[in-house]
A and B are shown apart, each in its own frame.
Chain A
Amino acid sequence: MTHRARSRIIPWLFLLPSLLWYLIFLVYPMAYSFVISLTDWDGLSKGSNWVGLANYIAVIFNDEVSRLAIKNNLLWTVGTLLIPTLMGLFLAIALDQKLPARSLFRTVFYGPAVLPLVAVGLIWAWMYNPQFGFINEVLKAIGLGHLARGWLSVFETALPATFVTAIWTGIGFSMVVYLAALQGIPAEQYEAARMDGATGPRLFWHITLPWLREAHVIVLSLAVINSFKVFDLIYTMTYGGPGRSTQVMGTWMYFNAFQYYHAGYGSAIAWVIALITLVFAVPYVRHMSRD
């Protein structure tokens, strides 16, 4: 082999294991599940019938639970887009200053983010427990006992209650990303602006926020992507209930594909999730691949 031919082939030899792994266990299953989503396969039997886009039409137009699940995912997006992001930004700005015990604060606020979501769900199911839960106990102790309820088993509060849990585990990530971005702002920027007579709020609007643009792209696109992927917290805290009121697309897909034996329909829901997350991944991937 000539030297040139060898140097042309070497990069691909290094890439081969991960490319193969990626094609076999990610790309092929994705394509395969798209094919399944065009059938009425139950997931077990040998045969299945081609149904075209019928499953997708059902997900978007006919199945009320699917529509509710999409709505819940949108609510989840709104909830986790605004509150944890703003709280994370606030904490990052606060903890970027020299304060006593600031690394302890960072440890505490990021802590819940490293826990398994199953454990987080069980912890909060216990906090919300109707009989002995901490939340109800506190309400009773401060004379608001009439507000005590089974937070996760009542229609009006079940979904918002899971948002609180999502906020508890979610602020850590945005805080850490914003902190890293803040530390990347050159100090001269602030000094130059101060020389020009700028103070507090003006510095924030004209220097801090523009320098955080990259961090916003990451935090916001990941918040959207992750809120359409939600599964663990709903599965462990409400199991989609009461009734089916807290179903999200992730859990509804799971119930259909693996409990009701509607593999075709479940795959269609999964592909709807995938299409949404891939669209929102565009700015994220563009940012990550930029040199």
Chain B
Amino acid sequence: MAAITQTRVATKRSTSAHIQRTWPKVVLWIFLAVAAVIWLVPFFIIVLTSLRSMNDLISNGVFAWPTRWVPENFTRAWNLGNFSTFFRNSLILIFTKVPLGILIASLAAYPLAKMRFRGSNIVFIFFLIGLAVPIHVTLTPLLVMMKQLGIAGTLPALIPPYVVFGLPFQIFVMRGFLRTIPSELIEAARLDGANELSVFFRIMLPLAVPALITLFIIDSLGTWNELLIALVLISSEASLTVPVGLLRFQGQWSSRYTELMAGVVISIAPILFIYIFLQRYLVSGLTAGALKE
């Protein structure tokens, strides 16, 4: 009898302990799910708006299900908003500026990671300070410089400042990554008579491919998203990048909410696509940049 009571108490205790352990988790999970849905609402709303007609929006409101799907909003926005030009310009920047910036950042990161020389720490800190320099403080002189170079208002004017504002973060991440490559590999190559340049291109860069991919993705996002420099340095319609172009489009279509939201969806679709499929690289790189170890 006593034995039975004892086991009963024991099972009771373990189930209640089990409930005690799982119950807060269930509450937490429900809370997170609700918060996630709230976080997604703006996405639902813009997609819903971009796929209905203006009449439907005016008479049925923003969260009614569309009476008819209107994908034509997208073709209208794409053609009349000139998005193909904006996309082309942003892609040109991504495929020129990003590799150039990463290359010179990697060149700088190699000695900072693997060579001992006087002043290395000072140079590294000198670059890091760039992380905190606000773009604003360079804008007026940059405009003057680009006018002197004869490229103010056009796409090439963006390359120098975009490269410079990417450098500090890229040097930091590459330095951190290159330090993890064993020095024995470099020593062995040097003994085989390789010069420093071929050590860099034949050994360091191939081993750094994961870091290079991460930096490429992060820097491409940054280039795709940048507004302020482009707003100041770009003037001709033919040279607008996606953010400035989207603003221009909004200026012209501010009361055609359906096409406007189609334009917004068009501008963020490539980013979301990259984010969802390449998230692993993106987030690991961002935290590698912020935290060490």
Contact = CB atoms under 8 A, between A and B. Distances in A.
A21 interface: yes
Contacts of B167: 18, 21-22
A122 B137 contact: no
Given A14-B107, A119-B246, A184 B29 contact: no
A126 interface: yes
B180 to A, nearest CB: 13
Contact of B247 (A129, A236, A249): A236
A250 interface: yes
B261 A126 contact: yes
B99 interface: no
- Grouping DSSP codes into helix (H, G, I), strand (E, B) and loop, the B interface class, with mixed when no group exceeds half, is helix
- Grouping DSSP codes into helix (H, G, I), strand (E, B) and loop, the A interface class, with mixed when no group exceeds half, is helix
A281 to B, nearest CB: 3
Contacts of A33: 137-141
Nearest to B130: A26
Interface stretch (A78-86, A175-183, A201-209): A175-183
Contact of B133 (A124, A214, A236, A278): A278
B205 to A, nearest CB: 13
Given A99-B32, A118-B247, A176-B286, A11 B128 contact: no
B221 A114 contact: yes
Contacts of B110: 14
Contacts, number: 268
A123 B133 contact: no
Contacts of B105: 18
Interface residues of B, number: 95
A291 B160 CA distance: 30
A97 B25 CA distance: 9
A26 B164 contact: yes
Interface stretch (B1-9, B55-63, B69-77): B55-63
B36 A108 contact: yes
A25 B161 contact: yes
Nearest to A180: B287
A134 interface: yes
A22 B164 contact: yes
B191 interface: no
Contacts of B171: 18
Contact of A126 (B46, B120, B271, B291): B46
B141 A274 contact: no
Contacts of A124: 42
| CB-based closest 4 A-B pairs | A281-B132, A11-B111, A116-B225, A29-B141
14 contacts: A11-B117, A12-B111, A17-B107, A17-B108, A26-B130, A26-B133, A99-B29, A111-B275, A119-B264, A180-B287, A215-B290, A228-B134, A270-B137, A273-B134
Interface of A: 8, 10-12, 14-15, 17-19, 21-22, 24-26, 28-30, 32-33, 36, 43, 91, 94-95, 97, 99-100, 104-105, 107-112, 114-119, 122-124, 126-127, 129, 132-134, 137-138, 168, 173, 176-177, 179-181, 184, 214-215, 218, 222, 225, 228-229, 231-232, 235-236, 249-250, 253-254, 257-258, 263, 266-267, 269-271, 273-274, 277-278, 280-281, 284-285, 288-290
